[in-house]
Chains A and B, each alone.
Chain A
Amino acid sequence: MKYTDTGKKDTRSGFGQGLLEAGRADERVLALTADLKGSLKMGAFAKEFPERFIQCGIAEANMVGVAAGLALTGKVPFCGSFAEFITGRVYDQIRQEVAYGKTNVKLASSHAGITLGEDGATHQTMEDIALMRAIPGMTVLVPCDYNQTRQATIAAAKFEGPVYLRFGRPSVPNFTDPDEKFVIGKVYRLTEGSDVTIVCCGHTVWEALIAADTLEARGIHAEVLNAATVKPLDEKAIVESAAKTGAVLVVEEHNMAGGLGEAVAAVLVQHKPVPMRFINGGDRFGQSGTPAVLMEHYGLTAANIEKEALNLLEAGR
């Protein structure tokens, strides 16, 4: 294995650290939350910059509008909540005040997907990427570990325009280069391979890397692409990889409709049609359980990725 887990960490803490560093580098950076300062790991920022931390109370719609107004005064507001409450609950506010209004607002989305765990389906969104992808001009980032989330946060602060930044609750392997600057719009090729391409994002990236390792032991060379920017998607990187491998598997902690899988499929069907498979939540809600049990149940594990990659290659023969 080319990558080493340097110790499990939650991606939301990567956001908290990135926010703190972005705040130190640029006094325009503000943090807003709807009563979830602790969950969003905004505590260090709030302690160092109390006047730039804005508690909005449990009122997400207002928070998004306030952020748009702050942006109009030259600030760079990050507004954070759980993924469901910073997307589905406030879709229309994001659409009108942030995206159509072209305000420089960063939507910090924690506890995304099913790995939020025990709280269950009301808090687990598997639809947020679809909602945000559907909005014209929205940039959608789904970094894969603590280091990359920290760097993506710093990059989002420097980027001019609306950004949806998705991360999660559980501690997961931390393996990307801590010093590698995040490039918005880039697909990261984590392993090179000639037999099958595995496109993934977020928590599923580590699982894909393990699957690539076990496939390698079978003599199958998998190319793992970390689509940390889901929109705008790095079409060139995906087409090039598909042309090389001739088979593409897309894995994501999100439902099928409107997710990374459909985004990749839309690119390939136009430019390089190849056999594809998808691992995702399908058309389902989440449910209570530990993150590990839920990842297993929804098939978001290395073992299932390996299995589906083999099925994909078998079907292509």
Chain B
Amino acid sequence: MKTIEELSKIASQVRRDIVRMVNAAGCGHPGGSMSSTDILVTLFFNVMKQDPASWKRSAEGQDAFILSAGHLAPVYYSVLARAGYFPKEDLGSLRRFGSKLQGHPSVGLPGVFQPSGSLGQGVAAAAGIALGKKLSGDGNFVYVLCGDGESEEGEIWESATFAAHHGLDNLVAMTDYNHQQIDGSIEDVAGLSSLADRWLAFGWDVIEAEGHDFESIQNAFALAKRQDGKPTMILFNTEMGHGVDFMAGTHEWHGKAPNAEQTAQALAQLEETLGDY
């Protein structure tokens, strides 16, 4: 178990990785990556049961994670590398020809169970894993991270119905609730109102937590694993672009790469704690 101070240091390094990776690639999605950093750092370092060194792409006998919002690849890749799934030096190859670090997650990179990028599909895959585990008597969990904008996709709600109907209480879904999507705020773009009310109405347990407060994140995961016959959705209140002042709280940084000057400005605000890749 990492202490909160240790988690905080990992998160700072992950945010540095994100900024540097996206800058080097010249394109990518830093905003949502930085809003979900603290959630994924906590999940991979303190919650999930997986052995990075001997990981294989089988959801049997271990916890599984699905990134439904595939454009959050930068944070996913950095967390996987920092957790030991592959060398951190590989992070510099994001979006390059021949790299396993494809623009959106692809099978073949250690730690990745399913490809994602076309939105709204991760909860279904996670529900399938959860059901498979129930059928096999495997007591491990499956986690899936969605975007809030992504929750405008209809398939998410098909999966919500299915998981509740089948009592998949080994399924823990998370929403990076940063209220921003490419074209603006989720309220302006699609009128997406109260995700809490929606998930409750579909028969899920809903937990609201602060997505940049490690204690709140850890408590939410502990509560989510109580297995009361219902799947759980944790709505993490977050801020897009969190950690860098000029990137924070705006949809402008959903899918834009910082230039050299902006990168230097951003890195000045993010402590190098574990050594850059």
Contact = CB atoms under 8 A, between A and B. Distances in A.
Interface of A: 30, 51-52, 54, 56-57, 59, 61-75, 77, 92-93, 95-97, 100-103
Contacts of B60: 73-74
Contacts of A51: 135
Given A56-B162, A96-B116, A61 B155 contact: yes
A70 B58 CA distance: 10
A68 B165 contact: no
Contacts of A95: 118
Given A69-B59, A72-B64, A100 B127 contact: no
B115 A62 contact: no
A66 B131 contact: yes
15 contacts: A54-B131, A56-B162, A61-B120, A61-B158, A62-B127, A62-B161, A65-B159, A66-B162, A69-B126, A70-B132, A72-B132, A77-B128, A93-B121, A97-B121, A97-B124
A68 B128 contact: yes
B114 interface: yes
B136 A97 contact: no
Contacts of A102: 107
B182 interface: no
Interface string B165-186: 1100000000000000000000
Given A74-B60, A93-B121, A96-B116, 13 more contacts: A30-B135, A61-B124, A62-B127, A62-B161, A65-B122, A65-B155, A68-B124, A69-B125, A72-B125, A73-B135, A74-B136, A92-B121, A96-B115
B4 to A, nearest CB: 33
Nearest to A92: B118
Contacts of B107: 100-102
Interface in B100-146: 106-107, 113-118, 120-133, 135-136, 138, 142
Contacts of B226: none
A73 B129 contact: yes
B165 A57 contact: yes
Contacts, number: 121
A72 B114 contact: yes
B124 A62 contact: yes
Given A66-B127, A96-B121, A72 B158 contact: no
B57 interface: yes
A66 B116 contact: no
Nearest to A68: B125
Interface of B: 57-60, 64, 66, 106-107, 113-118, 120-133, 135-136, 138, 142, 154-155, 158-159, 161-162, 165-166
A59 B158 contact: yes
B127 A69 contact: yes
A73 B121 contact: no
B114 A93 contact: no
A61 B115 CA distance: 16
A72 B162 contact: no
A72 B155 contact: no
A68 B130 CA distance: 11
A4 to B, nearest CB: 43
A67 B106 contact: no
Contacts of A71: 128
Given A51-B135, A62-B155, A96-B116, A70 B106 contact: no
Nearest to B166: A54
Max count, chain A CB within 10 A of own CB: residue among B106, B117, B123, B125: B125
Contacts of B114: 68-69, 72, 97, 101, 103
A65 B127 contact: yes
A72 B124 contact: no
A102 B129 CA distance: 15
Contacts of A93: 121, 124, 155
A114 B54 CA distance: 51
Contact of B128 (A52, A57, A70): A70
Nearest to B70: A96
Given A96-B121, A97-B114, A97-B125, A57 B131 contact: no
Nearest to B66: A69
B162 A62 contact: yes
A100 B106 contact: yes
Contacts of B159: 59, 62, 65-66
Contacts of A66: 124-125, 127-128, 131, 159, 162
A92 B59 CA distance: 23
A160 B126 CA distance: 21
A93 B117 CA distance: 11
A68 B66 CA distance: 12
A75 to B, nearest CB: 5
A59 B154 CA distance: 10
Given A96-B117, A100-B106, A101-B115, A73 B136 contact: yes
Contact of A72 (B117, B122, B128, B154): B128
A287 to B, nearest CB: 29
A67 B128 contact: yes
Contacts of B59: 69, 72-73
B132 A74 contact: yes
A31 B117 CA distance: 27
Nearest to A100: B115
A23 B173 CA distance: 32
Nearest to A65: B124
Given A56-B162, A97-B121, A69 B136 contact: no
